[in-house]
Structure 1
């Protein structure tokens, strides 16, 4: 292990560190690692080595990764026992910020990982959208547009990613009013393998129909309450029938169980008497 002590930023040294001593960074925004591309990188590393050093910081148990998790995983696949690293003079908070910023500036995060990473940067470190935009080298409007994607449900985001659709597909879905409509539209987009431009036109036509359809704001809440009441009534009847059935089983077994029920306008009073 290299000598203990902090490496100054202006005197960052290249060290070869055992892969087993490098811990993952909990603030890593990347959540998905494509097995095929990881294998291709491992093949490249086997031939040429790790061309871009990883960034790490010292911790009590070894080193914590700041940037380069994909390279580290590929190096392990390639069977490397140690990898080239630059040790940064970074505290715990700085390390997390560096990891997020470094990864958000890369081009190989998918749009969901990027949006979630920006949201994490803002939430964890109390940044405004403008501050986060400056950190990652994007405009404030670009950051705002990416954060809007997180208004889509986790299920929608999962389908978008698994189908290999783009950020433009996702942004188009936001034009629809609710997740039910979005899921229906997304199903069509996936099954018909729509291009971005065709999907945008398709969703624009659905959004136009939504705008022309009268909205039943006043009645919708009442309808929901009535539907909920119907389910509750059904559940109460099921409960009462179940109680009566089991009371009958007790009686058929020789237990003198007595069931008394009194219905009023406001309530149902149920009394079961079972002798000791």
Structure 2
């Protein structure tokens, strides 16, 4: 590989592919993925053994001549497994915020994260790096409502989340449990779900029955909620239709719907100047 890559001793190595000592690369502290499948690492190592590292790792400069990994954790682990002394990297300028976002995006694109890891990564970027939900949603290419819904999953108690992880329950299971009013009830129901092997539909059904009993068996409340929901959908369709009419008339209007805690947010953008 030496004839293809520059030496890391060169003065200008930024944005160029160079080779660096593998023991000088430290892990990304903002890596959202907590668990790595060893079998997939071994498979990747076998590929690298035969074809080399096709895609260089992304790193940034650290103190004392070291480098901090930005993207390529699996490749780094596979190279370490092969006991490679040097690996190809691209050295880029990047601050803590961007490094954390890139590490998250890489995993999201490869669908490597569990829904709890994704939620924890969002929470970390908001609390530790000062991003708003809107800024974060734009950076990771997700709707703000998606980010908000992921963050809600973190409200579940730690032991309940562990049960969900250990028994590979789905995100919909977790969302259903959030409807229960207290942690004790959530623990009891998740244990019942695991014991009986309930799927999502069955889990949602028993949770609805519990909520029905808690409400005193008053069906009219549920009917009222459905009626209100139906009205909201009518309003939403009215907004969409209005935007559609404007677009058909040559006005480049756009609308965006976000589901926030306690309310729906509709944003309509209409250009100031309209040319026909």
Which string of whole-angstrom CA distances, capped at 9 and with x for unpartnered residues, describes residues 161-189 of structure 1? 11112211111110111111111111122
CA distance 1:107–1:142, change in 2 (3 Å): same
- Are the aligned partners of 1:105 and 1:136 in contact in 2 as well (CA < 8 Å)? no
Deviation at 1:116, TM superposition (A): 0.4
**Matches of 1:22 and 1:70, distance apart in 2:** 13
Aligned counterpart in structure 1 of residue 153 of structure 2, from 149, 153, 157 = 149
- Are the aligned partners of 1:67 and 1:103 in contact in 2 as well (CA < 8 Å)? no
Which string of whole-angstrom CA distances, capped at 9 and with x for unpartnered residues, describes residues 48-106 of structure 1? 33333211011123110011212211221233332222211223444334334433444
Q: 2:68 matched to 1:58?
A: no
Give the structure 1 partner of residue 88 of structure 2: 84
CA distance 1:38–1:162, change in 2 (3 Å): farther
Deviates further, 107-116 or 123-132: 123-132
Deviation at 1:4, TM superposition (A): 5.5
TM-score (norm 2): 0.69
Any residues of structure 2 matched to 1:8-87 within 5 Å, and which?
8=14, 12-61=15-64, 62-87=66-91
Deviates further, 72-81 or 91-100: 91-100
Q: List runs of 5+ in structure 1 lacking aligned partners.
A: 215-276
- Are the aligned partners of 2:101 and 2:139 in contact in 1 as well (CA < 8 Å)? no
Q: Between Structure 1 and Structure 2, how many residues are aligned? A: 211
TM-score (norm 1): 0.69
Deviation at 1:200, TM superposition (A): 2.2
- Secondary structure of 1:212's match? coil
- Are the aligned partners of 1:149 and 1:171 in contact in 2 as well (CA < 8 Å)? yes
- Are the aligned partners of 2:19 and 2:87 in contact in 1 as well (CA < 8 Å)? yes
Aligned counterpart in structure 1 of residue 216 of structure 2, from 200, 212, 216 = 212
Deviation at 1:199, TM superposition (A): 2.2
